[in-house]
């Protein structure tokens, strides 16, 4: 079985990477989880997972210079596929190869989380959202962020990618229940959790460790665990998912 999720949002800095790694760790208690840094232009998952020194990354795989298995690392109970951060690495990589990468990974894992690029204006940027089974939309509870999130939903659903749910992040105010209730009316998925604004999240990032490893008792970590509990993973046939990825048509002009 396998299900592929895109962790997406309209803008950068909302907490996609933090959320990808945290959800991955939380789901790893129940599933075999693989997280992939599919934000190949602004990769930073490696910094969240203690992988900043690794030799081989997704860039090498997308440049057809290394097989996928040389860019996978077992960390924090998950399989992690980090991406490099150099501009040359990005330039030399062919984003469409991500289809083959995910198809290969699908044979051997239950859940794939694709940390996705924020904007939807290039082939590299739309690929995860187009190809995933479902998208988790990460939102800060502000009008502009919610409006961006709606664009992500519109785009995703136009390619038959369902919405798994909303993850409110960096939540400061007490009124979040009311905001979530109103926001849910416009989205096709439930609210999975509201993650509080948390110094622990920033500290974890600075320490190069996932939040759930760095501060497992924090309120933010607890909120991510409840998000993972709210997510029922569907058990697609690995072969079907792999075939779908291999044959996916990527929009020429997103």
Cβ within 8 Å of residue 1, ≥6 positions away: 110, 233, 235, 236, 237, 238
Choose, by CB under 5 A, the member of 3, 9, 10, 17 that binds Mg ion: 17
Asked if 10 and 118 count as a contact pair (C-beta separation under 8 A), the reply is: yes
Residue 56 touches Mg ion, criterion: CB under 5 A: no
List the structure tokens of 248: 């996916």
User: Smaller CB distance to ligand ADP: residue 62 or 221?
Assistant: 221
Least Å distance, CB 42 to ligand ADP, is 7
Residue 225 touches ligand ADP, criterion: CB under 6 A: no
User: Smaller CB distance to ligand ADP: residue 190 or 196?
Assistant: 196
Closest to 16 in 3D by CA, of 110, 149, 144, 130: 149
User: Smaller CB distance to ligand ADP: residue 66 or 207?
Assistant: 207
Residue 169 touches ligand ADP, criterion: CB under 6 A: yes
Least Å distance, CB 72 to ligand ADP, is 20
Stretch of 75-83, 86-94, 182-190, 199-207 lying at the interface with ligand ADP (CB under 6 A): 199-207
d(CA 187, CA 149): 9
Closest to 95 in 3D by CA, of 35, 39, 13: 39
Cβ within 8 Å of residue 199, ≥6 positions away: none
User: Smaller CB distance to Mg ion: residue 41 or 189?
Assistant: 41
| Residue 238 CB burial class (10 angstroms; 0-12, 13-18, ≥19) | middle
d(CA 254, CA 107): 29
Residue 36 touches ligand ADP, criterion: CB under 6 A: no
Residue 116 touches Mg ion, criterion: CB under 5 A: no
d(CA 159, CA 141): 26
Residue 140 touches ligand ADP, criterion: CB under 6 A: no
User: Smaller CB distance to ligand ADP: residue 40 or 241?
Assistant: 40
Instruction: Specify the residue for token string 């996932």.
Output: 210
Residue 15 touches ligand ADP, criterion: CB under 6 A: yes
Residue 195 touches ligand ADP, criterion: CB under 6 A: yes
Least Å distance, CB 86 to ligand ADP, is 18
Closest to 11 in 3D by CA, of 116, 89, 158, 122: 116
Residue 194 touches ligand ADP, criterion: CB under 6 A: no
Stretch of 11-19, 23-31, 70-78, 173-181 lying at the interface with ligand ADP (CB under 6 A): 11-19
d(CA 170, CA 196): 5
Residue 17 touches ligand ADP, criterion: CB under 6 A: yes
Q: Which residues bind Mg ion (CB under 5 A)?
A: 16-17, 44
Q: Which residues bind ligand ADP (CB under 6 A)?
A: 9, 12-18, 44, 169-170, 195, 197-198, 201-202, 205, 220
């Amino acid at each position: 079985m396998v299900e592929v999720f895109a962790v997406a949002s309209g803008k950068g800095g909302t907490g996609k990477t933090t959320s990808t790694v945290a959800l991955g760790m939380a789901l790893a208690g129940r599933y075999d989880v693989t997280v992939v840094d599919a934000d190949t232009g602004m990769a930073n998952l490696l910094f969240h997972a203690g992988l900043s020194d690794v030799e081989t990354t997704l860039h090498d795989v997308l440049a057809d210079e290394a097989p996928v298995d040389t860019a996978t690392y077992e960390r924090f109970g998950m399989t992690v596929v980090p991406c490099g951060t150099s501009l040359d690495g990005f330039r030399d990589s062919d984003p469409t190869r991500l289809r083959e990468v995910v198809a290969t990974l699908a044979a051997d894992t239950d859940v794939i989380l694709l940390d996705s690029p924020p904007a939807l204006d290039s082939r590299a940027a739309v690929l995860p959202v187009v190809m995933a089974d479902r998208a988790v939309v990460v939102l800060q509870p502000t009008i502009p962020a919610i409006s961006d999130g709606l664009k992500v939903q519109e785009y995703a659903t136009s390619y038959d990618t369902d919405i798994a749910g909303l993850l409110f992040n960096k939540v400061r105010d007490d009124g979040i229940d009311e905001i979530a209730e109103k926001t849910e009316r416009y989205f096709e998925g439930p609210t999975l959790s509201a993650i509080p604004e948390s110094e622990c999240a920033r500290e974890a990032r600075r320490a190069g460790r996932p939040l759930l490893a760095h501060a497992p008792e924090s309120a933010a970590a607890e909120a991510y665990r409840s998000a993972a509990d709210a997510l029922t993973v569907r058990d697609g046939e690995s072969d079907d998912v792999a075939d779908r990825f291999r044959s996916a048509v990527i929009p020429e002009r997103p």
